[in-house]
Structure 1
């Protein structure tokens, strides 16, 4: 499990974070870096093909086991990705470079699906799922240090292509753990989402129609993003109307959100209404009689069932909940890919300095933020902590605005508290103060956000519901990165950090509305318990217990 955690964390670090440091040093423009960072959407969309991974047996390597066959393919593909990147010049062949990175991102996201399933499969009374999850996180964090701090340090000494060639070799070694790992047998074909086939459930033919509509929306969104990436990275010579990321974000971005979030929510709402009215529901059990039917049930259970349950419990409050999901980590996710270019290219820090401040010192600051979040849960409660997390996450962008403007306020803070008299380079003190603020805020906000998602996730559908909601968290920030890169090119980092701070205010508003809504719901339950159906009250209690 430790090595599998490492195997999951290494490609995530190298493809979503460190790759941008290489592109920044290669003088790739920031708008292009923003577009390439869309490869991170693979992690947001991975739940879409999780049914395929769970149900499909691969030829040849499938003989190694239900999970091991998929793992070996993913790990070898990732090793080949890093080695191929080391032989590809991002300046002369940016399109090819991006294509290889996209393949790697999808392989990495698929590996995550398999590892998560393997962890649940092999857990027993001794190696419990809680222990395995903790060990997984340890491996993931070690990989973040190797793919982040160590990669930056090595880049100063052996060049970026050399770094990725080395990382390809390291990735290939994880196959040894896969070959030695235990595996589990495939479940009997009749096992699956049985409740979808019981009396009172929506007719499978109606579900199939709704699933087709939702699938069409997701396919359109993915293809639209993919085609725009191709256009941006392979421009037509002398094109009188070249594509612009800012135009795409403004004109097409809302439609992508509508197709991937609003459309599934509307279909789920319709199914809830039909089930409540007793229309188009089964009057007797109808077991799935084919692999296609079982696959459709699994896809519905991964995509629409979590939303239907959430809407059924929260009713109109789901609008606020989805608002929080889409905006709470927006300030972090939208500017994250530009962090290394900002440190290395704009501010001219060395890779060694950034490695220490961001990937070593910064980790301890994140842990401190998580600890502060734990204390605030006990003293203030869940919702005040959630609101405070949104506020500080937005406010720390002002630290970076000050850093980009020459750090007058950070210097004043350092002089006031004697931090510049510690014998550390004042430039390094500036960087560490900014990173401390961001990482403490990020740790606090992250802990608050995980607790909130856990509180609204139903115990009955906790795994798929949490996976869906956490995936949607990345959507808006990822779509906005191309436009943000353009803005940095034209207006500079200071203006961008003011913008990201303002965007964080949207999450604060949603959090306040959610506090009001949840407080009103609690008052209703206390004043007139009969107004809230017993099943809903029990589910609300489940959410409180989960938090």
Structure 2
């Protein structure tokens, strides 16, 4: 009996210790259904984009289309930069399955049909039709992103934004295994038409997500008119931040990933030009890119719990900038398989870290009340360099060569880092987009 009494205070002391309390908060932030849902939002959201930036360029190059034309194909991604124009509609018009789930399901069904039809077109004699169908895929994909990003913003608590968005981004990258690895390997065995049908079938993952998950609780919006739907999200941000911080934040969103996006824009044609086979690219290059980026993103999410978003943007941005230089080394060396794997692994470690912090920053800047519109605007700006600047990459490579091109990409990554002095100072305390509002919880 004495022994039992002596143990009880010790047990209580252990349970109530600061270390135990910190571990409890940490485990709650990591292991829950909200974080698990982010895995499936990433898988559904990433696959269409990787089809456009990895599989379609490989298909065109394999069919004999020039690098300049392939580079111009980046312009079909313009819907990713325009999506904020129709995002207010998706913030207000509720479909039968729900405001978020309804739009997710509708766009996913459209993606399955558009991707399957894309592979039935001859890329050489019907290049314009290929561009049109790829544009339609981009419209459905960008619209799906609007719905999924809004769903995730409403689902996650503020303290989960770093890790939840990191998990989303890494699942997003895992989805590249389908168009960037499996589909390329199948292209050595099957006709391209069948490859696109198989790729389209993987969007059923998104359909399953939309059917199974619950609709989150939405913040109440009193004025449902069209004018309010368009103006209110922007006036809301101006009230919270002000004009100058808004301008700096928007410019930062354009520039932070500029060099990184350009460096990887023509990755698959670059590997083919170096002399690697499609199977080597599918088995080695894609996996060397995928797993380090996943590791970097997940570790980045955990680091952000400790350091915060601001400091993570600084640290991860430096790694991202330096890793771009590895492509210049590879271009100068030639088709050495182990070097290919090493350079890509380091590059995508930086990509994973940088993207995790950048996506968390965007989520922090968005409010729950206007999640679809504000998140769409911010991610559209982030996609702007991928669409416009990347359309010039083919011309730049033809005129500069691969080595000089990658050095230029590293230089273009510097301005975004400098803007961190104002938008995310190292010593600054991060604020959430809803710091003036009571938190909204999701319905589970």
TM, length-normalised to structure 1: 0.62
Q: 1:193 aligns with which of 221, 241, 245?
A: 221
Q: 1:146 aligns with which of 178, 181, 190?
A: 178
Within-5 A mapping of 1:154-193? 154-171=186-203, 173=204, 177=208, 181=212, 192-193=220-221
- Structure 1 position 352 matched with structure 2 position 261: no
Q: 1:467 to 1:306 in 2, by over 3 A?
A: farther
Moved more, 4-13 or 24-33: 4-13
CA contact (8 A) 1:66 1:183 kept: no
CA contact (8 A) 2:252 2:416 kept: yes
- Structure 1 position 51 matched with structure 2 position 84: no
Q: Secondary structure at the match of 1:474?
A: helix
Q: 1:442 aligns with which of 337, 351, 371?
A: 351
Q: 1:77 to 1:365 in 2, by over 3 A?
A: same
CA contact (8 A) 2:186 2:195 kept: yes
Q: Which residue of 1 aligns with 2:64?
A: 27
Q: 1:112 to 1:319 in 2, by over 3 A?
A: closer
Q: Secondary structure at the match of 2:285?
A: helix
Q: Secondary structure at the match of 2:333?
A: coil
Offset at residue 364 of structure 1 (A): 2.0
2:104 and 2:370 map into 1 onto residues whose CA distance is: 26
CA contact (8 A) 2:105 2:207 kept: no
Within-5 A mapping of 1:364-383? 364-370=291-297, 373=300, 383=310
Could you report, residue by residue, the CA deviation over 1:243-271 in whole angstroms, capped at 9, with x for unpaired residues?
A: xxxxxxxxxxxxxxxxxxxxxxxxxxxxx
2:432 and 2:45 map into 1 onto residues whose CA distance is: 33
CA contact (8 A) 1:65 1:183 kept: no
Q: Which residue of 2 aligns with 1:112?
A: 145
Offset at residue 300 of structure 1 (A): 2.0
CA contact (8 A) 2:146 2:375 kept: no
- Structure 1 position 38 matched with structure 2 position 70: no
1:372 and 1:144 map into 2 onto residues whose CA distance is: 20
- Structure 1 position 501 matched with structure 2 position 413: no
Offset at residue 506 of structure 1 (A): 1.4
Offset at residue 186 of structure 1 (A): 12
CA contact (8 A) 2:118 2:196 kept: yes
State the structure with more CA Rg. Answer: 1
Q: 2:239 aligns with which of 309, 317, 321?
A: 309
2:182 and 2:362 map into 1 onto residues whose CA distance is: 33
Q: 1:457 to 1:28 in 2, by over 3 A?
A: same
Offset at residue 154 of structure 1 (A): 0.8
Offset at residue 356 of structure 1 (A): 2.7
Within-5 A mapping of 1:333-482? 333-344=261-272, 346-370=273-297, 373=300, 383-406=310-333, 427-454=336-363, 456=365, 464-482=373-391
2:161 and 2:358 map into 1 onto residues whose CA distance is: 22
Q: 1:297 to 1:24 in 2, by over 3 A?
A: same
2:346 and 2:405 map into 1 onto residues whose CA distance is: 18
Offset at residue 499 of structure 1 (A): 0.9
CA contact (8 A) 1:193 1:297 kept: no
Could you report, residue by residue, the CA deviation over 1:167-226 in whole angstroms, capped at 9, with x for unpaired residues?
A: 23444x569738954776999xxx9533xxxxxxxxxxxxxxxxxxxxxxxxxxxxxxxx
CA contact (8 A) 1:387 1:511 kept: yes
> Which runs of 5 or more structure 2 residues have no equivalent in the other structure?
1-36, 440-444
The number of equivalent residue pairs is 398
2:183 and 2:149 map into 1 onto residues whose CA distance is: 26
RMSD, aligned CA: 4.1
1:35 and 1:399 map into 2 onto residues whose CA distance is: 25
Q: 1:79 to 1:455 in 2, by over 3 A?
A: closer
2:309 and 2:144 map into 1 onto residues whose CA distance is: 33
1:50 and 1:395 map into 2 onto residues whose CA distance is: 35
Offset at residue 160 of structure 1 (A): 2.7
1:132 and 1:486 map into 2 onto residues whose CA distance is: 38
Q: 1:343 to 1:321 in 2, by over 3 A?
A: same
Q: 1:101 aligns with which of 102, 127, 134?
A: 134
Moved more, 492-501 or 37-46: 37-46
Q: Which residue of 2 aligns with 1:485?
A: 394
Could you report, residue by residue, the CA deviation over 1:247-297 in whole angstroms, capped at 9, with x for unpaired residues?
A: xxxxxxxxxxxxxxxxxxxxxxxxxxxxxxxxxxxxxxxxx4xxxx62221
TM, length-normalised to structure 2: 0.74
2:410 and 2:65 map into 1 onto residues whose CA distance is: 26
1:124 and 1:382 map into 2 onto residues whose CA distance is: 16
Q: Secondary structure at the match of 2:238?
A: helix
Offset at residue 513 of structure 1 (A): 4.9
1:515 and 1:182 map into 2 onto residues whose CA distance is: 34
